[in-house]
Amino acid sequence: MLTPFFSVLFVVLPLISCVASFGLVESGNNYVVTTDGGLIFTVEKTSGDVTSLVYNGVEVQSSNKRSHVASGIGATCSWLRGGNSNNYILITCITSTATQYYMARYKDAAVHMATYTNGWTYSELRYIARLKHSVMSTGYTASTIAGSSSIVEDDDVFNVGSQTRSKFYSSRQFIDDAIAGPVSGSGVYAWMIKPGMTSFEGSSGGPFFRDIDNQNGDTDNEIYFYMNSAHTQTEALRQGFHGPYALTFTNGTTPSTFDHFPIWDQFSSNLSGYTTQAGRGRVTGQATGFPSSDASYITVGFSNSAAQYWVRTNTSGNFVSPYMKPGTYTMTLYRVELAIATSSVTVSAGGTVSQNIASAETTPSYIWKIGALDGTPRGFLNADKIETMHPSDARMSSWSGITYTVGSTADASFPMSLFQNISSVTVKFNLTSSQTGARTLVIATTLSYGGGRPAVVVNSWSGSVPAAPVKIDSRGVTRGTWRGYNERYTWSVPSGTLVTGSNTLTITVASGSGGSGYLSPNFVFDSVYLY
């Protein structure tokens, strides 16, 4: 039974001390919640902002800025207590286009949260917890910008000593981002937990999309849950229920993710857009047709306009999906990050549907191939660094003057990306007489910027410049991501072009757009092959 608390307290005590055990006290314009698990947090009831976070007596909330969804939504809040043994408090903060939920659980040092949107028109939706850098000074190294000496790019990539740093370099792919953190200091560790496999169901971009987790600056040390953004986004942003997620505090122990349904299902009648576990269904099946060498890197995804889900298979291809909202979904089979099959599947409330999916990928008879053709640039030069530093970083290997010889040069010497104003690549290869004649050249890319796409010259023959790729209106590789549309460019190399013996392929960047340096038109390689 849910019991609203409407009584007014006539004695207003200091915020931090006004609740001695689990409960909520209204103090002026604030809701002060004690979890009895070491955490006391305060929500301003006329904005929905968190204004205080005290863990084991240490105030960690920034005094410079507040913690809130988006940049603050100016909500009007109410609260109730209920759930199992009356051990939960739910705060609801409402505006015309968004609702922010905060939940406290007895003996749990966490602020459990969820966000509902309906008509949200902004390009970003994220919860940002701003913690005091003076108290919690440690964050992700790659996103620690405290003490920065200069700006590298667009006021969000900085030089710190000899390294480039950015909040974007804290990002992890959604499929691997169940626990972000820690942000720590003074014996306090903060984490952002996205429990289960459904916290990203209202987000966009798919399993391999990535977004910001941390920025550690001179004043604030921030930890995020990015639900949606236009940061190299490949699909429309979803509305509805986002999360749940939890800002969790420990004394150093790494928390575990958890099943959120027993917590939130209790309050389903009080939550807009929420679907209980009983109101969901699952898909079980087997993925087949993929190479055994990739058996540990197979993912099945599900998406429609309302929700998205994913699950990694076991090495035999067997899978069981998360609990999904009822509806018809596009079911996608990924080998590493490359989509290799799609089908349709319908999920019903309370049911489990069995549906297999088989690879539709075909493999030509390669004369030669550079790269794995797996939807990523992994294995190429600088691909091991690009997620955590800018292409200009001194730790990067040189992007320019690269010649790759098929059969003798390792893929690790082939550049993961080309930048129009900085780099090109020359590929040398030998052919036998039986390998000459009319052939097909393919360049697979994962991402482009500024309309960048490959232009090729084979010996003395110049291939036609392909049409511009689908535009993503966002920086990409300089922000540490290669996730895009996975496009392939194909040229029919005419008979008489290739010769027995030595041949040369030159690849440059074509574009009708401008730009300088690493923001000149560019693209990211997946694979190059001739057949």
The DSSP string of 59-105 is E-B-SSS-BEETT----EEEEEEESGGG-EEEEEEE-SSEEEEEEEE
Longest CA–CA span in the chain (Å) reads: 94
On the question of a cis peptide bond just before residue 469, with omega within 30 degrees of 0, the verdict is no
pLDDT for residue 2? 46
DSSP code, position 38? S
Residues 332 and 285: their CA atoms lie apart, in Å, by: 13
pLDDT for residue 18? 47
All residue ranges of the chain with pLDDT < 50 are: 1-18
pLDDT for residue 465? 98
Residues 284 and 90: their CA atoms lie apart, in Å, by: 34
pLDDT for residue 20? 64
Residues 366 and 377: their CA atoms lie apart, in Å, by: 19
Structure tokens belonging to residue 236:
């429309």
CA 281, 314, 170, 245 dihedral sign is positive
pTM for this prediction: 0.94
Q: How many CB atoms lie within 10 A of CB 44?
A: 20
Residue 277 near residue 349 (C-beta atoms within 8 A): no
pLDDT for residue 277? 98
Residue 161 near residue 225 (C-beta atoms within 8 A): no
